């Protein structure tokens, strides 16, 4: 895996994992490597979609458990 991909994965993981310190680190590394802003935003949006799907699934699970 090259450095660009590693930082984009790091950005996505930080967003999905709610880690501000991790996001700051990987974002700054991405900027240092001159990764395009569009690529950074795409990684962020992918992470948000994944995170949102997990959040929704958990909400539905909790609601089902409360109905038992």
- The CATH number linked to 18 is 1.20.1290.10
Closest CA relative to residue 43, chosen from 65, 66, 23, 60:
23
Q: Which domain holds residue 22?
A: 3-67
Number of domains in the chain: 1
15 near 44, Cβ under 8 Å? Answer: yes
Q: Which residue has the tokens 């950074």?
A: 40
pLDDT tens for 25-67 read: 999 999 999 999 999 999 999 999 988 877 888 889 989 999 9
- How many alpha carbons fall within 13 Å on the CB side of residue 27? 13
pTM above 0.75, yes or no: yes
- Which residues touch 35 (CB under 8 Å, ≥6 apart)? 4, 7, 8
């Amino acid at each position: 895996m090259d450095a660009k991909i590693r930082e984009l994965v790091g950005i996505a993981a930080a967003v999905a994992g709610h880690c501000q310190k991790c996001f700051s680190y990987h974002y700054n590394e991405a900027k240092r490597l001159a990764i395009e802003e569009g690529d950074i935003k795409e990684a962020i949006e992918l992470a948000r979609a994944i995170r949102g799907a997990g959040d929704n699934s958990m909400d539905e699970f909790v609601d089902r458990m409360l109905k038992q």
